Structure 1
């Protein structure tokens, strides 16, 4: 059964997802550089709007999108979409969170290795002609305690990978954690305070909500071990950046690795100039495999949902 309808793609996505939509009969306009103002003026013409993280689907966009049936994000989370406004107007909002599980999880492991073995510092020093071997005593991951805040798809996958490295696992989530999973990876479940006090590494995997804003604040940072490392690949607003800066400046923890920031791109030079933090430009899901899979997942979900709506009508 062929579909009819117009689709606008507002950010860069893998061509395989575009192919799925076109093969289903949909007319696809690929405008990965479109501005929000242009989108507001054009949104009335489309049945489906597809974004990644660059484009913000605000209330103004949604009000203009009078024909829209679906808004889709090729990625994890929906914080760049006004979901409440979309739902009020009967627009379905979907994402492809499952597609980036491997990519994000592997970056977390990369951060843990980099922090524990001082890899960025060693690289920069060696390239600048400095042989600082004696200054770079590292640590092993085996036997260390990894605290995982948020045990969704990504948090669980991080746990499985870390268990393979023979790390000990501590987990915290606001929703109940499945007993079969805790037994699978020998996960200790506890409250946030105890997790922070007990972990050698802490990694955040929660969505951004009013409840998770500055979940890791000055008080929570003060609970961490002096030699512990903090990692965030979820959303920048989960950590109070200014509190983290003060913590790192005073060597209250061993270090941190951030892939996300309260403002992106980050503008806080004080944060970027610290020598005990690793900063990357929101690349957690940026793998060829992950982006290809995400575009295909979204393409297939859109086709399936439009087919269901067509049958219902």
Structure 2
């Protein structure tokens, strides 16, 4: 049986070259077949996953030899980290490898939602000319509020500052005197969450899903935001109350929103119906951190960590 099991997609060259010499089972369809996955990990010493494979008690019990889990990304809410620690199973997130991809997604989506001009293709084809209805806003001079100020948020702030945005952030885990608030590209003003929400033109979320952050952006938080503000969540599903967001968009309480992550993934038709008829809304399938380039980086960071662990390096 396989020494290393990979249950979701990754760069195949990284597997061939980075894990040469190991018996590897690479099958991205395993994530959707829990019984077959449980059978596959019976003798595995390492498991490599993305965000959909649920590494919890049933799967861990099926893998008595497991000593390492490689996470093709940074979020660990699909992995029972405490249970892994109790069994001395090392968990290796691909920290930093997709920071640029997420940051570019946030900035590109903010510009798209502020400008509001890019949904007119069918009208132009049909001979209509909705020019006056599509006068949007520039990103220059707007205030970006970052909820969480880790590495992805800092990459986002860097790009925002280059476009002339003012950058503020809320992060209770970054001390007031930390050098993090003085970046090479400019100073970032630390703000309380309520103030950040009420002052920002664009709010971008960069927090993990924890008991403290679940539904952090609920109806009350949205009510504090500006009526024309943009909300972007490319962090973790469950941080935003999706029904409250949809209601705010339909009622004209927000200028727009983008969700790349959802409380339950993949989103089925019933859950997707919550967002029906919401204006200026972008929904994407948890793809912000996945580009051709980041997939290669994430894959190599992960296989190198797993290889070194199994080789005792």
TM-score range normalised by the length of the shorter chain? over 0.9
Report which stretch shifted further, 151-160 or 129-138: 129-138
Matched with 1:26 is 22
Offset, 1:121: 2.5
**Alignment RMSD:** 1.6
Give the counterpart of 1:115 among 109, 113, 116: 113
Q: Distance in 2 between matches of 1:213 and 1:129?
A: 46
Counterparts of residues 209-220 of structure 1 (less than 5 Å): 209-220=210-221
2:288 is equivalent to residue 292 of structure 1: no
- Which residue in the other structure is 1:36 paired with? 34
Report the CA distance between 1:109 and its aligned residue.
0.8
Q: CA deviation at 1:15?
A: 1.2
1:24-72 CA-to-partner distances (Å, cap 9, x unmatched) read x211111111111211223221000111123221210001110011011
In the alignment of these two chains, the number of paired residues is 304
The answer to whether the 8 A contact 1:99-1:294 is kept is yes
Q: Is the 8 A contact 1:9 1:32 kept in 2?
A: yes
* Alignment map for 1:114-263 (pairs within 5 Å): 114-176=112-174, 179-184=178-183, 185-263=186-264
Once residues 95 and 288 of structure 1 are traced to their aligned partners in structure 2, the CA distance between those partners, rounded to angstroms, is: 19
1:88 is displaced (CA, Å) by 1.4
SS in 1 for 2:274: helix
**SS of residue paired to 2:225:** coil
Q: What is the correspondence of 1:10-25 to structure 2 with a 5 Å cutoff? A: 10-23=7-20, 25=21
Extract structure 1 runs of 4+ deviating beyond 6 A: none
The SS at the match of 2:24 is: strand
Instruction: Give SS of 1:286's match.
Output: coil
Match of 1:59 in 2: 57
Question: 2: distance between equivalents of 1:236 and 1:100?
Answer: 18
The reply to whether residue 301 of structure 1 matches residue 305 of structure 2 is yes
The 2-side partners of 1:272 and 1:27 are apart by: 47
Q: Structure 1: 5+ residue runs without aligned partners? A: none
Equivalent residues of 1:104, 1:285 under 8 A apart? yes
Structure with greater proportional helix content: 1
Deviation at 1:176, TM superposition (A): 1.3
Task: Please state if 1:268 is matched with 2:272.
Answer: yes
Secondary structure of the residue aligned to 2:70 is strand
CA contact (8 A) 1:36 1:56 kept: no
Distance of 2:299 and 2:163 partners within structure 1: 31
> Structure 1 pair 124/256, CA: closer, same or farther in 2 (3 Å)?
farther
TM-score by length of 1: 0.92
Unpaired runs of 5+ residues, structure 2, are none
Asked if structure 2 preserves the Cα contact closer than 8 Å seen for 1:77 and 1:97, the reply is: no
Q: Deviations over 1:179-201 (max 9, x none)?
A: 33322222110110000010000
Following superposition, the deviation at residue 154 of structure 1 comes to 0.3
Instruction: Provide TM-score, normalisation by structure 2.
Output: 0.92
